[in-house]
Amino acid sequence: MVYLELFWSFVKIGFTSFGGLSMIPLINHEMVSHGWMTLEEVADIVAIAEMTPGPLGLNCATFAGMQVAGLPGSLVTVFGVLSPTLTVCLAAAMAFEKFKNSRLLANLLTGIRPMCMGMIASVILSQALSNYTEAGSLVWPAVLIGVVGLVLLARFKLSVPKLILLSAALGLVLVR
């Protein structure tokens, strides 16, 4: 039964998100609402998925399925999340080719972009609350690591793999 629930949850995620970060609030909701994971466990899975090669949403689905139901669970979640994506991509490619000069299509895309940004902002807020607070108070070493990472990424264009390694080292030193 858990396999069917996992499959259906990730089919819904695949049909209602646009990949990448926009999948995280939906994965978060499904995992927490079914009692499969806590917010902290989802945050851990997102961190691991960010560090591994491949699409973020697919990596999250794989790790979530593995956490909930082992290897069969990860296969079910991957199949669930990819099925609608393939279907929608095929339909979109056919429609885009037919209506590529349509003003209606341009207007639809103009509406979708801000919604995606809102979903990303929601993820940032929920992950920040999960990663920078503990028992209702700020974890200052984590805030410091986040600020240093933001500055190194935005100002000095440090590569993401180097930033991850530096953040891990700072976490070991500052948090123990």
Distance CA 135, CA 53 (A): 33
Helix (H, G, I), strand (E, B) or coil at 61: helix
Distance CA 36, CA 30 (A): 8
- Name the residue ranges covered by the structural domains of the chain: 2-102
Q: What is the sign, positive or negative, of the torsion defined by CA atoms of 126, 45, 171, 169?
A: negative
pLDDT of residue 142: 93
pLDDT for 85-97, tens place per residue? 788 788 989 988 8
pLDDT of residue 166: 95
Cβ within 8 Å of residue 80, ≥6 positions away: 6, 7, 8, 9, 10, 11, 13, 14, 61
pLDDT for 55-67, tens place per residue? 888 899 999 999 9
Distance CA 160, CA 59 (A): 17
Query: Euclidean distance between the first and final Cα of the chain, in Å?
Result: 41
pLDDT of residue 85: 74
Please give the chain's pLDDT, 176 residues, in tens: 899 999 999 999 988 877 778 888 999 999 999 999 999 999 999 899 988 888 888 899 999 999 999 999 999 999 998 988 788 788 989 988 888 898 988 898 899 989 999 999 999 999 898 889 998 899 999 999 999 999 999 999 999 999 999 999 999 999 87
